[in-house]
Amino acid sequence: MNNGIRLIILAAIGTLDLAGIGARPSYAEPPQTLTIAAANSLKDSLRVILPLFEKQQGNVEVRVVWGPSQSLRDQIQQGAPIDVFLPSSIEEIDALETKGLTLPGTKHVYAQTALVLITQSALPTKVSSLSDLSEPDVRRIALGNPKTSSVGKFAAEALKKTRIHDSVKSRYIYGDHSGAVLELVATGEAEVGLVYRTDAIRHKKVHILAELPPDTHTPILYGLGTVWTSKNPSVARRFHEFIVSPTIQDILKSYGFDRPSSELNTVKH
């Protein structure tokens, strides 16, 4: 083979290498999975927020297990493969922490909200406060079941603290979670209901009548924590940082959340 032909062949091989044909195949790393157990009342906001987290991380897929906070806590206690717990009350994380079922230093308050009195948008009841619930027009009051939902616990506390409970308890209709309470009111099964502001603010079929004063119940704090079954605590930590960022806090505000008071930003462990 003369030198001219040899040079042509070598040049052709170099061109193939540059085009990638002669390169070694590269394999992308499989995405990491972050499994979140989240309260039903967080659905609307998280369906906007979680894709932003996946986009930011690039190689993370988020899987969500939805349910009432207390039911999710029970699943975690029994060993469900969860990374981050997002209940609708910080008390659910407290309960896990007491049993040593959260990773140290991962409990954090990231938002808070209020309890509101709602009615059906189409046929609103003329009620403006809890004291009006004893009026004869209010025949049924929808509440979360205190045994299965955090919103039910707060509602029961407010009704007892304002001394309304005894006069209206025969009118209660219970839903297992906030979504069920909303449905009872939206369909007219109950004239009024008590839910979180976050549940009602964007719901087209219910109308907020009043926001309960904060002194009628303990603060409604939204917290998160990495739990004992986590397989990806480093990704969970990045999610913690993400959800408290200013951009995400602004999104949460549009869904009825408030930034927590400065003294609540970090809770004691």
- The answer to the question of residue 13 being in a domain is no
- The answer to the question of residue 87 being in a domain is yes
Does 68 lie in the same domain as 189?
Answer: no
pLDDT at 41: 83
SS3 15: helix
Phi, psi of 79 (to 5 degrees): 100, 15
Which of residues 191, 211, 231 is at a domain's end? 211
Confidence of residue 262 (pLDDT cuts 50, 70, 90): low
Does 120 lie in the same domain as 203?
Answer: yes
Confidence of residue 12 (pLDDT cuts 50, 70, 90): very low
Does 234 lie in the same domain as 106?
Answer: yes
pLDDT surpasses 50 at 46: yes
Does 126 lie in the same domain as 54?
Answer: no
- The answer to the question of residue 192 being in a domain is yes
Confidence of residue 175 (pLDDT cuts 50, 70, 90): very high
- The answer to the question of residue 56 being in a domain is yes
pLDDT surpasses 80 at 23: no
- The answer to the question of residue 216 being in a domain is no
Does 193 lie in the same domain as 133?
Answer: yes
Outline where 187-265 has alpha helix (H): 197-200, 233-243, 246-254
CB 143 within 8 A of CB 156: yes
pLDDT at 30: 83
Does 243 lie in the same domain as 159?
Answer: no
CB 154 within 8 A of CB 218: yes
Task: Output the domain CATH number for residue 245.
Answer: 3.40.190.10
The model carries a pTM of 0.80
pLDDT at 2: 53
Range in 89-98, 132-141, 222-231, 259-268 with the lowest mean pLDDT: 259-268
Structure token digits, residue 30: 């499989």
Does 226 lie in the same domain as 195?
Answer: no
pLDDT at 115: 96
CB 248 within 8 A of CB 52: yes
Could you give the percent of the chain with pLDDT greater than 90? 76
- The answer to the question of residue 161 being in a domain is yes
Does 257 lie in the same domain as 241?
Answer: yes
SS3 33: strand
Could you give the percent of the chain with pLDDT greater than 70? 87
Dihedral angle over CA of 140, 197, 260, 71, nearest 10: 60
Q: What's the pLDDT tens digit per position in 65-124?
A: 999 888 999 999 999 999 999 998 899 999 999 999 999 999 999 999 999 999 999 989
Does 100 lie in the same domain as 187?
Answer: no
pLDDT at 214: 93
- The answer to the question of residue 15 being in a domain is no
- As a whole number, mean pLDDT of residues 10-21 equals 41
Confidence of residue 25 (pLDDT cuts 50, 70, 90): very low
SS3 30: coil
Does 131 lie in the same domain as 48?
Answer: no
Which of residues 168, 189, 211 is at a domain's end? 211
Q: How many domains does the chain have?
A: 2
* Integer Cα distance of 195 and 113 in angstroms: 10
pLDDT at 218: 93
pLDDT surpasses 90 at 148: no
Does 192 lie in the same domain as 151?
Answer: yes
pLDDT surpasses 50 at 268: no
Kindly provide the b/e burial profile for residues 122-139, where b requires at least 16 CB atoms within 10 angstroms of the residue's own CB: eeebebeebebbeeeebe
Does 193 lie in the same domain as 122?
Answer: yes
Confidence of residue 1 (pLDDT cuts 50, 70, 90): low
Outline where 66-124 has alpha helix (H): 69-77, 90-98
Q: Report the chain's mean pLDDT, rounded to a whole number.
A: 88
Residue written as tokens 């308050």?
109
- The answer to the question of residue 21 being in a domain is no
Range of the domain at 98: 32-112+221-264
CB 230 within 8 A of CB 139: no
| Listed residue (221, 11, 245, 206) closest to 119, CA to CA | 206
pLDDT surpasses 90 at 38: yes
* Integer Cα distance of 250 and 261 in angstroms: 15
- As a whole number, mean pLDDT of residues 33-41 equals 94
Dihedral angle over CA of 5, 9, 11, 16, nearest 10: 160
pLDDT at 68: 85
